[in-house]
Amino acid sequence: MFSKSRINEPGPGKDTETAKGSEAAKQPTSSAPAMDRPASPPKAKPPASVLSSDLTITGNIKTSGDIQVEGTIEGDIRAHLLTIGENATIRGECVADDVVVNGRIVGRVRGLKVRLTSTAKVEGDIIHKTIAIESGAHFEGSVQRQDDPLSSSSQRSGKAPAPAPEG
């Protein structure tokens, strides 16, 4: 009833080989996107490094990530986002894209966005692109707006950068 001649049909060996060959061809292709997927998580932003309240650091700190300071630092700090906790004290220059000051800084602050909250105490100059100072913040120093406050060359000379030649 179901017997047919196998002469006219491709044999099971050929179908199986073709199927196995196509599966084998698909596997490297399907595993390549799987290899791409693990590359995505490292792109995720890591959490901020927290320097606890019982920590005192003497020396400079530099990172491309975020830092939250709750302790005391005697040195310069450079970061992407710098958050100074209410009980933190920094004696040195703070440079970051975003600076949020809740505590005390004795030294220069340079940032694209600088925010002094109501508990902030800053003794030093602030060079910024945008600034926000909440009511109650204590600030002693000068405030200067610059398009590129993160460049250190214009800060050291004390002069404003010369305008770029047009043309």
What single-letter amino acid sits at 53? Answer: S
pTM above 0.75, yes or no: no
Report how many domains make up the chain: 1
Q: Is residue 18 part of a domain?
A: no
CA 84/CA 124 separation, integer angstroms? 15
Domain of residue 90: give its range.
49-147
Q: Is residue 72 part of a domain?
A: yes
Q: Is residue 38 part of a domain?
A: no
Q: Is residue 84 part of a domain?
A: yes
Predicted pLDDT at 159? 45
Confidence tier at 45 by pLDDT (50, 70, 90): confident
Who has greater pLDDT, 37 or 141? Answer: 141
Nearest CA among 101, 103, 56 for reference residue 81: 101
Give pLDDT tens digits for 76-133.
999 999 999 999 999 999 999 999 999 999 999 999 999 999 999 999 999 999 999 9
Q: Is residue 65 part of a domain?
A: yes
